[in-house]
Amino acid sequence: MANTLPWALSHTQIAVEAVATIAFALSGLIEGARKRLDAVGICVVAGLAAFGGGTVRDILLDRRPLFWVQHPGWVWILLSLCVGAMLFMRARHLDPTERAMQWPDALGLGLFTAVGTQIAIDASMPAVIAVILGMITAVFGGVLRDIVCNEIPKAFSDHRPYAICSFAGGWVMVTAHAGGLPQWGALMAAASTATALRMAAVLLDWRLPAWQAGVAPKDRSEDPPRR
């Protein structure tokens, strides 16, 4: 009998998670370069962006080993990517911008949403929990990246839909799975939905309503006495 892990990923899931990891690593690398971090700092930020969300997902699902421990080659790919990108940007005198970070971030958001939701479905989680775990997989890497870079996470502060795009993509994954769509088709449908929604939010400047603090009523006891 083959000794297979109950949470072993299919080749399609591994491919999607690998591309998502590289995309988020690029977003972390660009953010670290924008903050003028040193080489170690850039590698750490890129690693948090790439592996943070999946690590939180695996902890919540009690999956061992963690996905990046199970596939250590991705750590070498991450380190090689960071070194190569830093040398390339220095040689070309490129100035990384926040807008440049948004495109790999949007791609990683969609891909991690799809594979995170699929992993939760494979673990027999209820639909809403699978969607939430997919959203955690997609969002928490960016949250950790921004916290380490001493910023309020953009997922919570830039008012353009982010987690909501992932949430929508997760439900596409659940619906496609329930409808019997092949796994690769369900993954592509969910990833495309979340990524397209996020790109549209950035390009069209869709905004969520921000919290508006009300003006406190004036304390009448502080009024000067009338004469």
Q: What is the pLDDT of residue 1?
A: 38
| Residue closest to 27 by CA, chosen among 180, 194, 148 | 148
- For tokens 């807008």, the residue is 99
* pLDDT tier for residue 223 given thresholds of 50, 70 and 90: low
Q: What is the pLDDT of residue 3?
A: 42
* pLDDT tier for residue 217 given thresholds of 50, 70 and 90: low
Distance, in Å, from the CA atom of 192 to the CA atom of 172, rounded to the nearest integer, reads: 10
The mean pLDDT of 169-185, rounded to a whole number, is: 92
Dihedral in degrees, nearest 10, Cα atoms 123, 127, 128, 133: 30
How far are the Cα atoms of 119, 190, 203 from residue 135, in angstroms, in the given order?
Answer: 12, 12, 22
- Three-point CA angle 85, 88, 94, nearest 5°: 100
* pLDDT tier for residue 133 given thresholds of 50, 70 and 90: very high
The first and second tokens of residue 30, run together, are 């660009």
The residue that leads in pLDDT, 183 or 174, is: 174
pLDDT at 152 over 50: yes
* pLDDT tier for residue 7 given thresholds of 50, 70 and 90: very low
Distance, in Å, from the CA atom of 83 to the CA atom of 51, rounded to the nearest integer, reads: 18
The average confidence (pLDDT) of the chain is 83
* pLDDT tier for residue 116 given thresholds of 50, 70 and 90: very high
Cis status of the peptide bond prior to 65, with omega within 30 of 0: yes
pLDDT at 139 over 60: yes
Q: What is the pLDDT of residue 23?
A: 87
Could you give the 3-state DSSP secondary structure of residue 189?
A: helix
Q: What is the pLDDT of residue 224?
A: 56
Tens digits of residue pLDDT in 17-72: 788 888 888 888 888 888 888 889 999 999 999 999 989 999 999 888 887 888 78
pLDDT at 82 over 90: no
Share of the chain above pLDDT 90, in %: 35
How far are the Cα atoms of 21, 102, 142, 225 from residue 105, in angstroms, in the given order?
Answer: 10, 5, 8, 59
* pLDDT tier for residue 85 given thresholds of 50, 70 and 90: confident
Q: Domain residues of the chain, as ranges?
A: 11-206
| Residue closest to 16 by CA, chosen among 58, 54, 57 | 54
How far are the Cα atoms of 13, 139, 202 from residue 189, in angstroms, in the given order?
Answer: 13, 19, 20
Q: What is the pLDDT of residue 59?
A: 92
Which range (91-95, 110-114, 216-220) has the least confidence?
216-220
Q: Pinpoint the alpha helices (H) of 61-206.
A: 67-70, 73-92, 98-122, 127-148, 154-157, 163-178, 183-204
CB contact at 8 A, 24 and 141? yes
Distance, in Å, from the CA atom of 108 to the CA atom of 64, rounded to the nearest integer, reads: 23
